[in-house]
């Protein structure tokens, strides 16, 4: 759990955006791979806010080694391409 908290905190510090949740994570040979959901642009109503998924890589000690945005979406929309993930 501490690794997840550190990842969210480090990503928020680097991007200046709020990391809302971790939608997936797995241990890799190099450390950890996570997908983090981030609030990119707050709108009214909230369901129209712009969200993004970031792929985040951490070393074995939980230090962020890289990240990249993999998709953007409105909070209120489902993504049929990603069903079952």
* Residue 80 forms part of a structural domain: no
* Residue 82 forms part of a structural domain: no
Number of structural domains in the chain: 1
> How many residues does this entry show for the chain?
85
* Residue 79 forms part of a structural domain: no
What are the pLDDT digits (tens) for 26-65? 999 999 999 999 999 999 888 889 999 999 999 999 999 9
Q: At 25, which helix (H) or strand (E)?
A: strand 18-27
* Residue 28 forms part of a structural domain: yes
How much is the average pLDDT of 9-33?
93
- Domain carrying residue 59: 1-74
Instruction: Give me the CATH number covering residue 70.
Output: 3.30.505
Whole-prediction pTM value?
A: 0.82
* Residue 47 forms part of a structural domain: yes
Cα 14–Cα 18–Cα 19 angle in degrees, nearest 5? 85
Tokens, residue 78: 């489902």
């Amino acid at each position: 759990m501490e690794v997840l908290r550190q990842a969210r905190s480090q990503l928020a510090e680097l991007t200046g955006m709020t990391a809302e949740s971790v939608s997936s994570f797995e241990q890799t040979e190099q450390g950890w791979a996570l997908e983090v959901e981030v609030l990119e642009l707050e709108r009214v109503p909230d369901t129209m806010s712009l969200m993004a998924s970031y792929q985040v890589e951490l070393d074995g000690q939980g230090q962020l080694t890289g990240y990249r945005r993999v998709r953007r979406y409105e909070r209120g929309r489902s993504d049929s391409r990603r069903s079952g993930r």
